[in-house]
Amino acid sequence: MSEKTKFWMLAVLLALSIGLLVYLFQATQNAPL
Amino acid sequence: MQDRTWRKINIGLLVAIVLVNLYTMLLPAIPALRYWWQAGHSKTKVTATVEQYVKATTPQANSEQSTPTEDMSGNRLIIPRMLMNTKIVEGPTSNPYGNLKKGAWRLPFSSTPDKGGNTVIAGHRFTYTESRSIFYYLDKLQVGDEIGVQWNGTTYTYKVVSTSVVPPTETSVQAATDDNRLTLYTCTPVWNPKNRLVVVAKPIGVNE
């Protein structure tokens, strides 16, 4: 696997991780308790 | 770009992924570590009475414990076991999220300590924006622990008589009662808050 392909895979993983964190910030703030 | 440069960028990305995910996973546990540290090292013991705890946490009595700018006025909820002396939030049921964001919210349809009946106070357990939410340590309360409520200048002292976990559909915990009691509740467990942790306390004294 080329380094450039690895870069895109890692970039997608990082975006997903940050997306999950942002979602959790939002979801827990508006949780019933 | 050279392979070597790509490799350096990829290592950086990998470190960033690990850090973001560690933060996501560990944040709910950080307040528990904080409690362990504070309970062991705080001058005010978690087994203190309400009276002792109020004295220790008011700015006049101990300037180290509370900053002079801290607003200690209004109705307050004091729980030594949770290292807590906080303002009771009042607000309408039409804005539950807004009220819960501010702290320990007395449900407006419930009673107040001076009237008797069931005084119900709810609070967040954990949010990512404020990991140590107001009732994070509610599970630390044990039967026999003291809880104080300063209400219109009078301190009402309660003793915990039960702690239980109920489903969120169990709304009877908020219902009016013939006896005088204080009900506190929050979500449980921290990671998967599908149930409600309910603490019921009965009055043991009034200090004018």
pLDDT score of A13: 97
Contacts of B182 by beta carbon, 8 Å cutoff, 6+ apart: B113, B118, B119, B121, B147, B149, B156, B158, B200, B201, B202, B203
Of A7, A14, A29, Cβ closest to residue B17 = A14
Tokens encoding B119: 């005084």
The helix (H) or strand (E) run that includes residue B38 is helix B30-41
Lowest mean pLDDT among A18-27, B8-17, B106-115, B139-148: A18-27
- d(CA B126, CA B137) in angstroms, rounded, equals 10
Q: At what angle do helices A3-29 and B3-26 cross, to 10 degrees?
A: 20
**B24:A17 CB<8 A:** yes
3-state SS assignment for residue B13: helix
Please provide the DSSP assignment of A12-27 as one string: HHHHHHHHHHHHHHHH
Q: Are B196 and B123 in contact (CB under 8 A)?
A: no
Backbone angles phi, psi at B51, to 5 degrees: -60, -45
Q: Span B134-145, mean pLDDT?
A: 95
pLDDT score of B205 more than 90:
yes
3-state SS assignment for residue B187: strand
Q: Are B57 and B46 in contact (CB under 8 A)?
A: no
Write down the ipTM of this complex.
Answer: 0.91
Write the pLDDT tens digit of every residue in A9-30. Answer: 999 999 999 999 999 888 887 7
Residue A4, amino acid: K
Backbone angles phi, psi at B195, to 5 degrees: -120, 180
Q: Are A14 and B13 in contact (CB under 8 A)?
A: yes
Local confidence band at B69 (pLDDT 50, 70, 90 cut-offs) = low
Q: Which one-letter DSSP state was computed for residue B107?
A: P
Write the pLDDT tens digit of every residue in B153-179. Answer: 999 999 999 999 999 999 999 999 999
- d(CA B76, CA B34) in angstroms, rounded, equals 23
Give the domain range for residue B199. Answer: 2-207
Q: To the nearest whole percent, how much of chain B has pLDDT over 70?
A: 93
Write the pLDDT tens digit of every residue in B124-135. Answer: 998 888 767 899
- d(CA B162, CA B140) in angstroms, rounded, equals 12
- d(CA B71, CA B177) in angstroms, rounded, equals 32
**A28:B14 CB<8 A:** no
pLDDT score of B119: 98
Domain count, chain B: 1
Which residues of chain B lie closer than 8 angstroms to A23, CB-CB? none
pLDDT score of B206 more than 90:
yes
A-interface mutation test, from B1, B4, B11, B13, most A Cβ less than 10 A away = B13
Local confidence band at B63 (pLDDT 50, 70, 90 cut-offs) = low
Q: To the nearest whole percent, how much of chain B has pLDDT over 90?
A: 65
Q: Which one-letter DSSP state was computed for residue B28?
A: G
**Segment 67-126 of chain B within 8 Å of chain A by CB:** 96-97, 100-101, 122-126
Tell me chain A's radius of gyration from C-alpha atoms.
15
CATH number at B74 reads 2.40.260.10
Write the pLDDT tens digit of every residue in B182-195. Answer: 999 999 998 778 89
CA B114 from chain centre, in angstroms, equals 22
pLDDT score of B65 more than 60:
no
pTM of the model: 0.84
Write the pLDDT tens digit of every residue in B6-40. Answer: 999 999 999 999 999 999 999 888 888 888 888 88
